[in-house]
């Protein structure tokens, strides 16, 4: 487990003091894919660089497994970093080296014998899907291929933890998805802990199990990804959820209510298996009501599906009440009455 207690980083200039990370507490379970999301300036990149002491903490403790990283001397830290891989937004490859030589670089530093090194490099090339590109130089690779080299290099010393600092921000959406799929595959095959630093909720939704939201150097919200999608509490979290769900604004909702001014307008919240229920057709068959889907979206997370539909239900009052009661009593879909305009 990764345990972080009271972690702070303060930068001092001639005229100012900036607290980039502010007394942060966090526990991350072994084998988890843990997301840390925040807008630019939230402190998330500083936070991830503190984990392997690329930045020195101003105060606080970091423990990875049984090692207190913040208590290690220079030689101990150098060895401990072999168990902490890191990939970057802009790849940080050595442009004068080929794919295989880039991947071999940390093994050379660790003093691994040549034959063992070559076997390990080929194993990693196969793992990240770069077979046939071993002798290419970074300038001959696409962005996605460069990041695959970065991932293979980060895995060279069999780390227990993989830190990903905005690893997909420089990539197009299709390539981003392929890299995220690769990280999930690596997590499942190798069982290592992955910490994803990002400003994109799509990344969190697609691969993370737990998420922490950072703002002004603090964690302002944390929990299971599906729970955070369902009940975002902070304004910043709601904005991130809207990135994926595309929820309309209050003005959009008011316009819907003005346009569809009969019957009930309800918001249906689907979670997990309920997202697969043919609820709308069931209601239409069971009750003398008409249903009109006004707005909505269903999306998948690692913990299950989540989504909302805004639906207009028209008909006799008692039939509308029966339909709503059926949803409440017989399904796991949550019903929120936005307006009763009968």
What local confidence, expressed as pLDDT, does residue 330 receive? 82
* Predicted confidence (pLDDT) per residue in 38-54, tens digit: 999 999 999 999 999 99
Q: Which residues contact 294 (CB under 8 A, 6 or more apart)?
A: 256, 260, 265, 310, 311, 312
Give the torsion through C-alpha atoms of 196, 197, 200, 206, to 10 deg: 10
DSSP codes, 107-144: HHHTT--HHHHHHHHHHHHHHTT-TT-TT--GGGS-HH
- The secondary structure of residue 29, as a DSSP letter, is -
pLDDT of amino acid 43: 93
**CATH of the domain spanning 250-340, picked from 3.30.750.24, 3.30.70.260, 1.10.443.10, 3.90.1150.10:** 3.30.70.260
Q: What is the pLDDT of residue 311?
A: 87
Q: Structural domain boundaries of the chain?
A: 2-244, 250-340
Give the containing element (helix H, strand E) for 31. none
What per-residue confidence (pLDDT) applies to 273?
Answer: 57
Model pLDDT, residue 213: 96
pLDDT above 90: percentage of residues in the chain: 56
What is the H or E stretch that residue 3 is in?
strand 2-12
The whole-number pLDDT of residue 315 equals 87
Q: What is the pLDDT of residue 328?
A: 83
Output the pLDDT for position 257: 65
Given 3.90.800.10, 3.40.50.1950, 3.30.1300.10, 3.40.50.300, which CATH number is that of 2-244?
Answer: 3.40.50.300
pLDDT on residue 275: 52
CA distance 176 to 303: 20
> How high is the pLDDT of residue 333?
82
CA atoms within 13 A on the CB side of 3: 8
In degrees and rounded to multiples of 5, residue 301 shows phi and psi of -120, 170
Phi–psi pair at 274, nearest 5 degrees: -65, -25
Which residue positions in the chain have pLDDT lower than 50? 249
């Amino acid at each position: 487990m990764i345990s972080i207690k009271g972690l702070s980083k303060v930068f001092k200039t001639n005229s100012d003091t900036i607290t980039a990370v502010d007394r942060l507490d966090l526990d991350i379970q072994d084998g988890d894919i843990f997301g840390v999301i925040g807008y630019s300036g939230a402190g998330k990149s500083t936070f991830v660089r503190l984990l392997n002491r690329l930045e020195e903490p101003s105060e606080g403790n970091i423990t990875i497994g049984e090692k207190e990283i913040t208590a290690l001397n220079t030689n101990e830290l150098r060895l401990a970093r072999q168990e902490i891989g890191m990939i970057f937004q802009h790849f940080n490859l050595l442009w004068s080296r080929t794919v295989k030589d880039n991947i071999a670089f940390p093994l050379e530093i660790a003093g691994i014998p040549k034959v063992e090194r070559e076997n390990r490099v080929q194993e990693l090339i196969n793992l990240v899907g770069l077979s046939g590109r071993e002798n290419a130089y970074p300038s001959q690779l696409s962005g996605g291929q460069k990041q695959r080299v970065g991932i293979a290099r980060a895995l060279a010393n069999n780390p227990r933890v993989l830190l990903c600092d905005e690893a997909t921000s420089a990539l197009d959406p299709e390539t981003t998805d392929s890299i995220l799929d690769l990280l999930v595959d690596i997590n499942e095959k190798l069982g290592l802990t992955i910490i994803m630093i990002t400003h994109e909720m799509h990344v969190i939704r697609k691969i993370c199990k737990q998420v922490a939201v950072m703002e002004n150097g603090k964690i302002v919200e944390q929990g299971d990804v599906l729970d955070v999608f369902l009940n975002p509490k902070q304004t910043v979290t709601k904005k991130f959820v809207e990135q994926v769900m595309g929820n309309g604004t209050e003005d959009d909702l008011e316009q819907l209510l003005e346009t569809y001014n009969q019957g009930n307008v309800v918001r249906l919240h689907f979670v997990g298996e309920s997202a697969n229920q043919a609820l709308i057709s069931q209601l239409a068959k069971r009750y003398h009501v008409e249903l009109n889907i006004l707005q909505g979206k269903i999306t998948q997370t690692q913990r299950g599906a989540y989504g909302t539909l805004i639906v207009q239900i028209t008909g006799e009052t008692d039939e509308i009440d029966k339909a709503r009661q059926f949803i409440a009593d017989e399904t796991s879909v949550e019903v929120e009455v936005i307006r009763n305009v009968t």
